[in-house]
Structure 1
Amino acid sequence: MSDYSQLLQNATWQPSTDMQLPLSISSWLELSTSLTTQLKQAFGEVNVCVLAESWITTLNENERQFFPKQACPCWCREVILKSQDIPLIFARTLIPASLLTQHRELQQLGNRALGEWLFMQSDRIRQKLELTHDKNTALYARRALMSIGAENMMVAELFLTPQIFTRVVK
């Protein structure tokens, strides 16, 4: 498990409405459109580097609270989004088996961004958005509970460079 993964799992999350942030930061963290698309507009080509994909059978307390009705196992996918070899985003996605039975293609994404698939789903709804700021690393992160039909998945994204927040969201 990577340090980034542990940071996300052990973070103190709060509703996005509870954090007072500068517009340059909140416009990225509260983005309701595809983060990958926005990164491409701001940085040019964005590559996905898959760090890990595997089944997990237990969630930590922090993630269990986010999935009160979901049971394991979950497919866990961890990736880094890079532009010109600069790491921009670490993403950790948890997809319950019940969602994968309907969308097996999620296990075949390879080096494609999840957002490319997610934002093509007409029944996609972001149910919940939480944010965190890690004081030790000064990194910001967000996590969202995304509904696809009657099923949910969690997408957590750690913003790895403050350079992102210098770019204007379009």
Structure 2
Amino acid sequence: MSDYSQLIQHADWQHSMETVPSFVSSWLNLSSSLTATLTQTFGEVHVSVLSESWITFLNDNERRFFPKKAARFWCREVMLKNQDTPLIFARTLMPDSLLAQHIELQQLGNRALGEWLFMRPDRIRQRLEWTQDQATGLYARRALMQIGQESMVVAELFLTPRIFTRTIK
């Protein structure tokens, strides 16, 4: 498990963005596809899969998003890169009940999750949280996404402050 994964799993997540600078909060509050926005802003973005596997343990920080007692979760960790520069580390958790309905999520390969997620008319972002790691200064966001009656959690760690120098609309 990567240090980035550990950082996301054990972060002190916040709800209010009152203390977040506006040039950062515009990226954290983005409601459209992060991958698509990065592509529009920086040029071609590649998805590199770091790991995909079933896991049976979630810490309390992640488990609270899943009120149903799922036995296992599909965990997908990827890096979004522009050329060779890492921009985003993403960790997605999907309960087995969601995968039973959408097996294609296990077959994304190097395609961005957003390609699938933002085509869904039944997608609702129910919750958005953010954190800033005290040791590195890196910002992250995580969202609880509802797809029909099922949920997934998508957490994204912004790996370079360069992202926040670009204004998005």
Which runs of 5 or more structure 1 residues have no equivalent in the other structure?
none
Q: Does the 8 Å contact 2:17/2:25 carry over to 1?
A: no
TM-score of the aligned structures, taking structure 1 as reference length: 0.97
Residue 151 of structure 1 corresponds to: 150
Q: Which runs of 5+ in 2 are unaligned?
A: none
- Deviates further, 54-63 or 67-76: 67-76
Task: Describe the SS at the equivalent of 1:101.
Answer: helix
Give the alignment of 1:18-167 within 5 angstroms.
18-167=17-166
1:38-92 deviations in whole A, cap 9, x for unaligned? Answer: 0001100000000000000010111112223342300000000000110000000
CA distance in 2, matches of 1:99, 1:71: 10
Matches of 1:168 and 1:65, distance apart in 2: 33
Contact 1:139 1:161 in 2 (8 A): yes
2:119 is paired with a residue whose SS is: coil
| Alpha-carbon displacement from aligned partner over 1:107-150 (angstroms, at most 9, x marks no partner) | 00000000110000000000000100001010000000000000
Equivalent position of 1:2 in the other structure: 2
Aligned counterpart, 2:14? 14
C-alpha contact (below 8 Å) 1:70/1:96 kept by paired residues: no
Which of structure 1's runs of 4+ aligned residues deviate more than 3 A? none
Check whether the contact 1:145–1:153 (CA below 8 A) recurs between aligned residues.
Answer: yes
Distance 1:89 1:70 in 2: 30
Give, as a single letter, the amino acid of the residue that structure 2 aligns with 1:12. Answer: D
Residue identity matched to 1:3: D
**Which AA in structure 1 matches 2:107?**
Q
Q: Does the 8 Å contact 1:55/1:73 carry over to 2?
A: yes
Contact 1:75 / 1:97 at 8 angstroms: preserved in 2? yes
Instruction: Kindly indicate whether the alpha-carbon contact (under 8 Å) linking 1:145 and 1:155 is maintained by their aligned counterparts in 2.
Output: yes
